[in-house]
Amino acid sequence: MSDNNKNLSDDLNDMLGDAKEGAKKAADKAGEFAEEAKEKAKEFAEEAKETASEFAESAKETFASGENKKVLAGVLAILLGSLGIHKFILGYNKEGIILLVITLVLGFITCGIGASLAGIVGLIEGIIYLTKSDEEFYNTYQVGKKPWF
């Protein structure tokens, strides 16, 4: 029996050694994967920072041009609102044509009453444009494409 116990003990020791060796190999592989993951994470973080800075730059440019459109559209709406020029500035061609037709056709037919109504619409829109913050104006009229008021 003692030989059986010794053989069993040797077998268990061999298996334990194999298990330790396997665990060491697994730990080494896990370490390698962890290093690769760290490198990939660093690369991803750098790309994300680059993309974020590019986005911030484009947003600054967009808001800068949005502010110019806000002031220009607001002033033109107050001064020439009945002609719909402010709508053309913002890219609302259909709405600009509607205001222009109301001013010319209805203004002629109604002896200026139609033109006055279109002028009032322009005045109200100009005041609304100029009282909104740059971000709110941009989001509402340039991104959201809200054509009236």
C-alpha 87/C-alpha 93 separation (Å) is 6
CA separation for the pair 127, 120 (Å, rounded): 11
- For the stretch 45-76, pLDDT in tens is 687 678 767 766 765 665 555 556 889 999 99
Q: For the segment 113-140, what is each residue's pLDDT rounded down to a tens digit?
A: 878 888 898 999 999 999 988 888 888 8
Task: Give the integer Cα–Cα distance in Å for 42 and 37.
Answer: 9
Q: What is the pLDDT at residue 12?
A: 66
Which pLDDT does position 126 carry in this prediction? 92
Could you tell me how far CA 86 lies from the centroid of its own chain? 25
Burial 25-59 (b: 16+ CB within 10 A, else e): eeeeeeeeeeeeeeeeeeeeeeeeeeeeeeeeeee
pLDDT tens sequence across 5-19? 666 666 667 777 777
| pTM flag (> 0.75) | no
Q: Which of 61-65, 84-88, 91-95 is predicted least confidently?
A: 61-65
Mean pLDDT in residue range 76-84: 90
Above 70 in pLDDT, residue 95?
Answer: yes
